[in-house]
């Protein structure tokens, strides 16, 4: 299978499995990722998703052989990899080993958090091929790191190593080579123990608030926050704290 999907308790691991092609994305891969992300959002037992690649690679971008044959990996209303134009409602972590280049880097940028092995390499080399990073790379990269640094890497097409990505705040955690998935699972578990409604709403507010004006921010945020404060899980969280026990979330 070109994409392997595995449920580990409350975590859904989505792995591109084309190591001989450095996990380059075909249309079939995009469809499979989109279906897995739909499962992540619809299944109330799932709390966090992880996107990774098998064989020591994250993703080297679009499968150029498939592209030359006329196949396009972008899905309508979903974008490249079934992800870049529509992110899931629940947190998604990129676990990066080896190359995350071109569309592969754009997939990582479309995730909420990035965990990288020390040997990971990120880059948008499209300008070297007469192209532009049109699947969100040029939009998301300057949102994640300083604009001048994003411009440098976008205009030169040069690669960025994991240590540099961590320095600029692009990568959340760095681990030893071969351990990116385990590290991402550990991070996902630390998220999954929290109230699912509160986690999803926190992600939603962070995502949406970048488009709110200073005048409207409180009016837009207030009803969202109130919906969580009035939830059953908010009451359970307070009771569990006073009773010195772990909360039992009901996702309501």
pLDDT at 64: 79
- Its sign, for the CA torsion 50, 55, 61, 63, is negative
- Render the chain in DSSP notation, one character per residue: --EEEEEETTEEEEEE--GGGTT-B-HHHHHHHHHHHHHHHH-TT--EEEEEESTT-SB-SB-HHHHHTT---EETTTEETTTTT---SS-EEEEE-SEEETHHHHHHHHSSEEEEETT-EEE-GGGGGT---TTTHHHHHHHHS-HHHHHHHHHH---EEHHHHHHTTS-SEEE-TT-HHHHHHHHHHHHHTS-HHHHHHHHHHHHHHTT--TTTHHHHHHHHHHHHHTSHHHHHHHHHHHTTS-------
pLDDT at 99: 95
Query: Within 10 A of 70 (CB to CB), how many other CB atoms are there?
Result: 6
4-18, 26-40, 61-75, 164-178: the lowest-pLDDT one: 61-75
Retrieve residue 32's tokens: 């499979």
Beta bridge partners of 4: 15
Query: Which is it for strands 74-75 and 92-96: parallel, antiparallel or unpaired?
Result: unpaired
Retrieve residue 246's tokens: 């772990």
pLDDT at 247: 93
- % of the chain beyond a pLDDT of 70: 100
Q: Annotated active-site positions, please? A: 106, 126
Mean per-residue pLDDT, 81-104? 97
How big is the chain by its Cα radius of gyration, in Å? 19
- Report the CATH number of the 3-192 domain: 3.90.226.10
Q: Per-residue pLDDT for 67 more than 80?
A: no
Contact 165, 116 (CB under 8 A): yes
Retrieve residue 170's tokens: 């692009």
- % of the chain beyond a pLDDT of 90: 89
Using pLDDT thresholds of 50, 70 and 90, give the confidence band for residue 70.
Answer: confident
What is the value of pTM for the model shown?
0.95
Using pLDDT thresholds of 50, 70 and 90, give the confidence band for residue 23.
Answer: very high
Mean per-residue pLDDT, 20-35? 95
How far apart are alpha carbons 2 and 66 in whole angstroms?
14
Question: Which position has the token pair 């532009």?
Answer: 132
Contact 24, 59 (CB under 8 A): yes
Tens digit of pLDDT for each residue in 113-161? 999 999 999 999 999 989 999 999 999 999 999 999 999 999 999 999 9
- Its sign, for the CA torsion 196, 199, 246, 230, is negative
pLDDT at 73: 86
pLDDT at 63: 87
Number of residues assigned to the chain: 252
């Amino acid at each position: 299978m070109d994409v392997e999907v595995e449920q580990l308790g409350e975590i859904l691991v989505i792995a591109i499995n084309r190591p001989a092609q450095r996990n380059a994305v075909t249309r079939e891969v995009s469809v499979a990722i989109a279906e897995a992300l739909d499962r992540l959002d619809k299944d109330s037992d799932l709390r966090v998703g992880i996107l990774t690649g098998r064989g020591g690679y994250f993703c080297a971008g679009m499968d150029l052989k498939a592209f030359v044959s006329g196949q396009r990996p972008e899905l309508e209303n979903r974008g490249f990899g079934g992800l870049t134009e529509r992110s899931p409602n629940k947190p998604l972590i990129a676990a990066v080993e080896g190359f995350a280049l071109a569309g592969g880097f754009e997939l990582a940028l479309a995730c909420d958090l990035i965990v990288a092995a020390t040997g990971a390499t990120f880059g948008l080399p499209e300008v070297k091929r007469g192209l532009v990073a049109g699947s969100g790379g040029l939009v998301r990269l300057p949102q994640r790191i300083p604009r001048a640094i994003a411009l440098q890497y976008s205009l030169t097409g040069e690669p960025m190593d994991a240590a540099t990505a961590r320095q600029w705040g692009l990568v959340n955690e760095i681990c030893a080579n071969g351990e990116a998935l385990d590290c991402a699972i550990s991070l996902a578990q630390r998220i999954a123990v929290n109230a699912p409604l509160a986690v999803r709403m926190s992600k939603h507010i962070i995502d949406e608030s970048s488009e709110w004006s200073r005048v409207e921010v409180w009016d837009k945020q207030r009803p969202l926050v109130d919906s969580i404060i009035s939830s059953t899980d908010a009451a359970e969280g307070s009771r569990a704290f006073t009773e010195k026990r772990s909360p039992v979330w009901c996702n309501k």
